[in-house]
Amino acid sequence: MKHALILAGGEGSRFRNDGVPTPKATVEINGRPQLLRLLDRLVGLGAETVTCMIRSGIELPPINVRHARPLELAFHRCNTPSPVHTLAAGLRVVPPGPVLCLMVDTVMPALDWEKVYSGTAARLAAGATAVLAVTPYVDDERALYVEAAGERIIGLPDAPVDPVLVTGGVYGLSPAARELGLSAPERGIDRMRTYLRLLLTVGRVEMVEVPRIVDLDRAQDLDSARSLLAREGPALPTFSS
C-alpha cells in the first residue's frame, strides 16, 4: 500500500479541557512528538506518499527527512468542522489508489503497526471495500463497538457485543471507499462512525485485530501510551525536528 493519510484537523478540545495545552500532533510520548512517530512508522512500513491534514494554528517544528528512499511528504492546513470533512479534504489531495488513513491520536507498538499495515494491504488487495483496525482494549466512553463474523465486520453498534471489540482509528480505504468519503460531507455526514456504518451498506468491511490501541483524548491517555511504548526501546528516527 503506497499511500497514507494522517488526520490532525481537530481542535483537541477534550485534551485541552483536561489540562494538556499541547496539540495531539506535537505532544511528546517518551521524548518523541506524536506526528513524527507516525511519520517514522509509516515510512518504515513502506508508504511512498504521506499526506498530513493539520489544523491551522498548530505550530509544527521544521521536519527533516533522513531516508534514502524517495518519499512524497505533503502538509495541508485545514479548518474543517468535523473529522469527516477533514477526511474528504485529505482524500482530494492523496494520489489515486488504496490509502491507509489514521487519526493523529492513534498509538500502537511497532509490531502491531506492521500487522495492521500488512493485513490491511492484503485484505484490500483481495477485494475488501475497507479494513478497520480493532482492539479488545476499551478505554473510551464514546467507543465504537464492532460486531464481526470471522474477519468481516457486520455491525458497528454504540453498545458492546460479545466478543468485545472497538475500532482503533486506523482505516484502510479502497478507491470505492474513498469515493464515498469524498461525498460524505455532501450527504450531511460529519461523524466518522456514520461514514464507517455507511461503508457496511455498500461493500465488504473487514478487520485486523491487535491487542491494544491507545487513543490520545485525555491526560491519562498519555501515561497509557508511554507505558505501552516503553517496551519498544529506542529506534533510529527517520524524521527529526
Round the average pLDDT of the chain to a whole number and report it.
91
Q: How confident is residue 224, by pLDDT bands cut at 50, 70 and 90?
A: very high
Cα–Cα distance for residue pair 106/110, rounded to 1 Å: 12
Q: Is the pLDDT of residue 217 over 80?
A: yes
Q: What is the pLDDT of residue 81?
A: 95
Q: What is the DSSP letter of 220?
A: H
Mean pLDDT of 79-96: 97
Of 240, 216, 241, the C-alpha closest to 228 is 216
Q: What is the pLDDT of residue 66?
A: 65
Of 199, 175, 195, the C-alpha closest to 187 is 195
Mean pLDDT of 135-142: 88
Q: What is the DSSP letter of 31?
A: T
Environment class of residue 128 by beta-carbon count within 10 Å: exposed (0-12), middle (13-18) or buried (19+)? buried
Residue 28 or 197, more confident: 197
Pairing label, strands 49-55, 3-8? parallel
Q: Which residue has the cell 492523496?
A: 94
Q: What is the pLDDT of residues 158-195, one digit of tens each?
A: 999 999 999 999 999 999 999 999 999 999 999 999 99
Mean pLDDT of 136-149: 92
Enter the pTM of the model: 0.94
> Any idea how long the chain is?
241
Mean pLDDT of 132-157: 95
Cα–Cα distance for residue pair 107/35, rounded to 1 Å: 11
Q: What is the pLDDT of residue 69?
A: 65
Proportion of the chain above pLDDT 90, given as a percent: 74
Mean pLDDT of 112-141: 96
Cα–Cα distance for residue pair 33/26, rounded to 1 Å: 5
Q: Which long-range contacts (CB under 8 A, 24 or more apart) does 38-43 make?
A: 38/6, 38/102, 38/104, 38/106, 39/6, 39/63, 39/73, 39/238, 39/239, 40/235, 40/237, 40/238, 40/239, 41/110, 41/113, 42/4, 42/6, 42/100, 43/67, 43/69, 43/71, 43/238, 43/239
Q: Is the pLDDT of residue 237 over 90?
A: no
C-alpha torsion sign, points 79, 178, 94, 240: positive
Proportion of the chain above pLDDT 70, given as a percent: 94
- Which domains, from first to last, does the chain contain? 3-234 (3.90.550.10)
Q: Is the pLDDT of residue 64 over 80?
A: no
Q: What is the pLDDT of residue 71?
A: 82
Q: What is the pLDDT of residue 230?
A: 86
φ/ψ (deg, to 5) at 32: -130, 125
Q: How confident is residue 234, by pLDDT bands cut at 50, 70 and 90?
A: low
Cα–Cα distance for residue pair 101/152, rounded to 1 Å: 19
Q: What is the pLDDT of residues 9-54, one digit of tens each?
A: 987 677 777 777 888 999 999 888 999 999 989 988 999 999 999 9
Residue 44 or 113, more confident: 113
Q: Are the C-beta atoms of residues 232 and 110 closer than 8 Å to each other?
A: yes
Residue 93 or 32, more confident: 93
